[in-house]
Chains A and B, each alone.
Chain A
Amino acid sequence: MRQAHFYTLYRPKWYRKRVSTWWWAQQWRSFKFILRELSSLAVGYVGALLLWLLWSLVRGPESYATFLAWLRTPLFIVMSFIAFLFVLYHAITWFNLAPKAMPLRVGGKRLPEWMIAAPNYLVWIVISAAILWLLIGRN
């Protein structure tokens, strides 16, 4: 993880090249990095939606109906669509990063990356199916 650096007083200043604020727009790789980091906003959006849903459940059936009606407005559909793409991007980059973040060794040899990434995708499918069944399948 990137460590936060703090400026201290009385430190000799060495020459540093000034980095443009738009450094991440100059290369596809770094642009993808910023896109991935921006998925944090979409994650926050889903968290807020969930809290809102639970809050409406506590308040009663009318409140729940109002919540559903709000989600049907074009503004929320567009926001949800964009957020969905970002959340999907987060999931895929996260699973693909897992083998690099925690490589497993068996008998002194590193397991191939797909053997660590694949279970993540498998769990993803199972959990998604469970969510679908819990929310929709029991209607």
Chain B
Amino acid sequence: MAKRSNEPFLWSLFSGGGMIAAWMFPALLFLLGLAIPLGWLEAPSYENLLALVRYWPVRLILFGLCSLPLFHGAHRFRFTLYDGLQIKHLNELIAVVCYGSAIAGTVLAAYILWNIP
């Protein structure tokens, strides 16, 4: 019998994260990384941003926004190393490091969002 694989589960995280990243990351990065630092637009004030983030629905969305794309990125980067650079002998280590950092990011996101004053 073929070995049971975790692939389908990981793939659902992968595609969910890919969707979120595709829909939301370009606008977020454009604002945070370019438009605001370069002075094209004014940064939201601390109070406004905090008030926005305090809403529980916003926190839930932010949790998905921080967590799922990390799994997407981890999955993709793992196979970039696997197929692209053909680093196959380190397969286990790479998987642990990639998914491990996604899990760490998820835990961190939960902790931060829970502790918003």
- What is the minimal beta-carbon distance from B18 to any residue of chain A, in angstroms? 6
Query: Could you tell me if A61 and B86 are in contact, using CB atoms closer than 8 angstroms?
Result: no
Please tell me if the beta carbons of A80 and B37 are within 8 angstroms of each other in the complex. yes
Bin chain B's interface residue count. 35 or more
Which residues 11-62 in B have Cβ within 8 Å of A in the complex? Answer: 11, 14-15, 17-19, 21-34, 36-38, 41-46, 48-50, 52-53, 62
Contact partners of A47 in chain B: CB under 8 A:
66, 69-70, 73, 105
* Closest chain B CB from A2 CB (angstroms): 6
> 8 Å CB contacts to A: which residues of B66-116?
66, 69-70, 72-77, 79-80, 82-86, 88, 91, 101, 105, 108-109, 112-113, 115-116
Per a CB cutoff under 8 Å, which of A5, A44, A58, A123 touches B73? A44
Instruction: Bin the interface of chain A by size.
Output: 35 or more
A8 to chain B, nearest CB (A): 11
Question: Can you give 27 contacting A-B residue pairs, CB < 8 Å?
Answer: A3-B7, A21-B85, A24-B84, A40-B72, A43-B21, A43-B70, A43-B72, A44-B74, A44-B77, A44-B101, A46-B25, A46-B69, A47-B69, A50-B62, A54-B66, A57-B116, A68-B36, A80-B34, A83-B29, A84-B26, A87-B21, A87-B26, A90-B25, A91-B23, A127-B24, A131-B31, A132-B31
